[in-house]
Chains A and B, each alone.
Chain A
Amino acid sequence: MSEKAKDYAGAKLGMWLFLFTEIVLFGGLFLLYAGYLHRYRADFHQAARDLNTLLGGLNTVILLTSSLCVALAVTALERGRQGQCLLSLALTVALGLGFLVNKFFEWSAKFSHGLYPGSAHLHQLPPGQEVFFGLYFAMTGLHGVHVLVGAGLLSTVTLMVRRGRVRQEDFVILENAGLYWHVVDLIWIFLFPLFYLIT
């Protein structure tokens, strides 16, 4: 493993390509959503009323703020302020975890009302509503996994910044992790209206 001159543009290009694949991965689900919304318009509107817009809105604010934090972290390191960068990163991870905690309560409430994949109660609802909740759990679930991965990634980068492995002169890893977090945020920006606001 000979150490080569670091190719910044290459590292960024590779990350952007990876982010495309993430968008396309969710794209398959968005496609299903579009198809089923077209078929079950009324059912979707009805089912969306069961979702807690307040919790969803809160989570949107949380993720947007965390995206701001990670952007601040990148800028801070770019200017050589390691401490500020660490603080922003820690805040980002905390907000990400907060999002998941919120999600946990939201899902638990659904489960306790008998709304979970394959449940008997769900099966009694009109087919369009059942599909709506199928999509809801699939898409927010997959997104939740991404939040978890992103939080893990940012925690690792935080450690790397602390140890000086990611620093002012070489912070492409932080930048790429930040990009990943932005995409996770971006996907939520689309999920939120599609599930919570179409009532």
Chain B
Amino acid sequence: MTEAASPQDSPARGFLTPEPGRGGLASWIFSTDHKRIGLLYLTCIMTLFAVGVCLGLLMRLKLMTPGNTIIAPQTYNAAFTLHGVIMIFLVVIPSIPASFGNILLPLQLGASDVSFPRLNLFSWWLYVTGALVALVSIFTGSGAPDTGWTFYVPFSERTTTNVSVAVLAVLILGFSSILTGLNFITTIHQQRAPGMSWRRLPLLVWSLYATAWIQVLATPILGITTLLIFSERVLHLGLFDPSRGGDPLLYQHLFWIYSHPAVYIMILPAMGVISEIIPVFAHKKIFGYKMIAFSSLAIAFFGSLVWAHHMFTSGMSDVAVLVFSFLTFIVAVPSAIKVFNWLSTLYKGSISLEPPLLYSLGFILMFSIGGLSGLVQGAAGADIHVHDTYFVVAHFHYVIFGGTGLGMFAAMHFWFPKIFGRMYHRGRAAWAFGIIMVGMNTLYFPMFVMGLEGMPRRYYDYLPQFAHAQFISTVGSWVLALGLLLMFHNLYAGLRRGAPAGPNPWGAATLEWSVASPPPKENFPEPPVVSKGPYDFAPREHHV
């Protein structure tokens, strides 16, 4: 992706210009330029996304008909484990912060780079190392991990598959995530341009700020949890082993203390992206700036206190269940604040229905469905019924794929002309969006129904009563894949042959649009002085 931009009819290529005296690949993988690092991340994340999608398609293909079809049960177990590990730790967690966050954060702050550029490059190297170790865990030892991405004990302690290596990969990836978060917090505190007060921060920056705090404060718990699984397996510490006095429930607590806040690491940056896009295409100042910024922090805070809602059926006290259920409902409030503010921004706006806005609207729809279905599981009583069923799978994919995924695609369509200086085919982008939406809903909505009817997640086989819904769901996976192919093809074509886009094709007001596209290597030829807010748009001229 990154190497492909051809120089022909683009006037200046900014930071994409090959560096004299440094070889092609080396000028990227050893670059401390935040924009190049962001693109490195984007390339890796999208590659691994493709791998994750293929594993998903494989699972759906297996589930199309009941019985022992194309893959064996053990392969199926490995497939859903790898799908989870890859999608969670290698794709969704780094998705927007590591790629677009890296590219945009300094630009939006009016800075020349992040606070620690070399640490930033080191994070990327850790990410790549983690990805390679994950790869090693698949192909070495006695089989790919089969525990599911949650690595629940006691099974993860006893399975003979290559869990030890896989958890090391997760540990390394966690470290990478921590360093990115640390870098972003410091950058936001220290690198703001003169005049860039906290109240003038673009909302993407606010959401990255909230995300970074979760990354810094929650991820170490993942670190210790994976370290403990590793030591349990290798040293037989026995801390989670009931036969040695340990308690598996404490593993679940530790795991979710990280892994629940982690879903806010996944969704908050996407919310930031949507908050950037909507005012631009409504051509109207964002409604409720302060509340959107505040709700990001509120989500980060309350989201850290709800982890045990994953454990309602695990055997906690009733008091704990009620407290965590209540706190879970509280998180819905700041999330709803955001949705209402986006809709209010659109209300009476001068709306241009460009691809980035389409994907953002898709986000709002899918996130609302996913978010509300989350409350069904947050309610302690209802959760007993839907726990560990397809309902959870549907909920999670609506929120994370329909939310973060579409948010990521929205970001790709919104900042594409900024990063590459070219424009993709907008009609095709809209078509791809439509197909993706149809595919996604056909794929995941039947899972809500199946879940309510009692279809357990992660099962290799199912009762005949689920055959229809399973079949529809598999067809949906093909439609979705088709839409994704069209979208990526369209972006790739835009990268190669798109028309020059100019510095500000959408008429946006944040700082990154004030420099050339692609941005010059040093970001701002003159250090900027900020004198207006991020959504104070110029009077409307007609944008093509």
Contacts and interface: CB of A to CB of B under 8 A. Distances in A.
A13 B219 contact: no
A32 B118 CA distance: 35
Interface in A82-136: 117-118, 123, 126-131, 134-135
B235 interface: yes
B32 A1 contact: yes
B71 to A, nearest CB: 36
Interface in B363-407: none
Interface residues of A, number: 39
Given A10-B115, A131-B245, A137 B182 contact: no
Interface stretch (B135-143, B221-229, B293-301, B459-467): B221-229
Nearest to A21: B220
Given A35-B247, A128-B245, A138-B237, A21 B219 contact: yes
A134 B237 contact: yes
Interface string B220-260: 11011101100100011111000011110010011001000
Interface in B168-205: 178, 181-183, 185-186, 189-191
Nearest to B218: A24
Given A4-B112, A31-B253, A134-B239, A14 B247 contact: no
Interface string A1-42: 110100101100110011011101111110110011001100
Contacts of B112: 2, 4
Given A25-B224, A28-B224, A130 B219 contact: no
Contacts of B118: 1
B152 interface: no
B184 to A, nearest CB: 10
Given A10-B189, A13-B185, A138 B239 contact: yes
B132 interface: no
A36 B241 CA distance: 13
B125 interface: no
Contacts of B238: 117-118, 130-131, 134
Given A127-B244, A128-B245, A32 B250 contact: yes
A13 B186 contact: yes
Nearest to B221: A28
B216 interface: yes
A19 B535 CA distance: 36
A193 to B, nearest CB: 20
Contacts of B178: 21
Nearest to B213: A17
A14 B116 contact: yes
A20 B216 contact: yes
A56 B446 CA distance: 60
B224 A29 contact: yes
A117 B115 contact: no
Contacts of A32: 239, 250, 254
Chain B contact surface mostly: helix
B117 interface: yes
B419 to A, nearest CB: 21
Contacts of B493: none
B217 A131 contact: no
Contacts of A127: 244-245
Contact of B115 (A14, A24, A40): A14
Given A4-B112, A123-B244, A134-B246, A118 B221 contact: no
A24 B217 contact: yes
Interface in A134-163: 134-135, 137-138, 142
User: Which of B182, B217, B244, B245: most chain A CB closer than 10 A?
Assistant: B245
A5 B44 CA distance: 32
A156 to B, nearest CB: 16
A137 B228 CA distance: 12
A26 to B, nearest CB: 8
Contacts of A142: 227
B47 to A, nearest CB: 27
B117 A131 contact: no
Nearest to B224: A28
Nearest to B254: A28
A24 B220 contact: yes
A13 B189 contact: yes
A24 B221 CA distance: 6
Nearest to A14: B186
A14 to B, nearest CB: 5
Contacts of A128: 245
Contacts of B217: 20-21, 24
B216 A118 contact: no
Contact of B239 (A4, A126, A131): A131
A25 B237 CA distance: 18
Nearest to B245: A127
Nearest to A12: B186
A18 to B, nearest CB: 6
Given A29-B224, A128-B245, A138 B190 contact: no
A28 to B, nearest CB: 4
Contacts of B231: 117, 138
A36 B249 CA distance: 12
Contacts of A22: 220
Given A1-B117, A10-B186, A13-B190, A27 B237 contact: no
Contacts of A35: 247, 250
User: Which of B221, B231, B244: most chain A CB closer than 10 A?
Assistant: B244
A20 B216 CA distance: 8
User: Which of B183, B185, B227, B237: most chain A CB closer than 10 A?
Assistant: B237
A118 B235 contact: yes
A4 B113 CA distance: 10
Contacts of B236: 117-118
Contacts of B119: 14
A36 B242 CA distance: 12
10 contacts: A17-B181, A21-B182, A26-B224, A31-B254, A32-B254, A117-B231, A127-B244, A134-B238, A134-B239, A138-B239
Given A27-B220, A28-B254, A31-B253, 5 more contacts: A10-B116, A17-B185, A25-B224, A31-B257, A134-B246
Interface of A: 1-2, 4, 7, 9-10, 13-14, 17-18, 20-22, 24-29, 31-32, 35-36, 39-40, 117-118, 123, 126-131, 134-135, 137-138, 142
- 7 smallest A-B Cβ distances: which pairs? A127-B245, A118-B236, A28-B224, A10-B190, A24-B220, A25-B220, A131-B245
